[in-house]
Amino acid sequence: MSTQPLKIGFIGLGIMGTPMAGHLIKGGHSLFAYTLGKVPEELVAAGATACPSARAVAERADIIITMVPDTPDVAAALFADNGVAAGLSKGKVVVDMSSISPVETKEFAAKIKALGCDYLDAPVSGGDVGARNATLSIMVGGDAAVFERVKPVFELMGKNITLVGGNGDGQTCKVANQIVVALTINAVAEGLLFASRAGADPAKVRQALMGGLATSRILDILGDRMIKRTFDPGFRIALHQKDLNLALGAARQLGLALPATGTAQQLFSACVAHGGAAWDHSGLVRALEKLSNFEIGQQAH
């Protein structure tokens, strides 16, 4: 862990960003914060300095973290008139922890490096639970020396921290992660729906599966949400769709067939058609339930 207090900027204080930023303050660092809404009171009370723009954050911090929803949001945070780039001076580090396009990440990195600064792409996995518990998996793309410099900061937010390769490789790893997560959600949903329709108690089935080869974090956390019908995010379906669009678009460019990824995306689209863009991604089960005219936990007849 870093014993030297750092000046850290944090841009994007949503479901994930707010607890992540909170851990940095608890770690003893000075935090300069900006978000499109209002900087959460809990962060200001803990000692964060609310800034009027991304530029103001970059002017005051040595390491600037962005945690926003999509590729255009990162572009705006970095390169808009009052964006991060306008406030940078040589030697600072920009760390994008959003989940965005690997191709555009490489372009962003080149622009930041041209200003005499360093760039890491460091998307995360673990959802709101991982963000709150500081147990996120962090997948990093960038220079090894810069990674080592920032690693103590990552250690305040996550547990499994891996330098995957150069700029863009962190984002490529995150896209792969989102493919695996979506397909596992689909598998858990189908398994629990089958068990429930066949007359078994889905909660007991889940408990039994947790002790065998089928166990996973998704069966544990999202399987529980499916059974308890708690579909508040969490991680919104609309955001997971964005990640699968990246996967399917890149797959076309690479000449790859990802048929199960395409199916998962269609099930998410069915959820959106039923008003579910803001459901937690465990809500994918609802698309299967509509197709089957049966809900988990319903009495089988």
The residues that are catalytic are 174
Q: Taking Cα atoms as reference points, which of 269, 265, 284, 248 lies closest to residue 101?
A: 248
* Cα separation, 146 vs 21, whole angstroms: 20
Between CA 71 and CA 81, with CA 120 as vertex, the angle to 5 degrees is 50
Q: Is the peptide bond before 27 cis (omega within 30 degrees of 0)?
A: no
Half-sphere exposure of 280 (CA within 13 A, CB side): 20
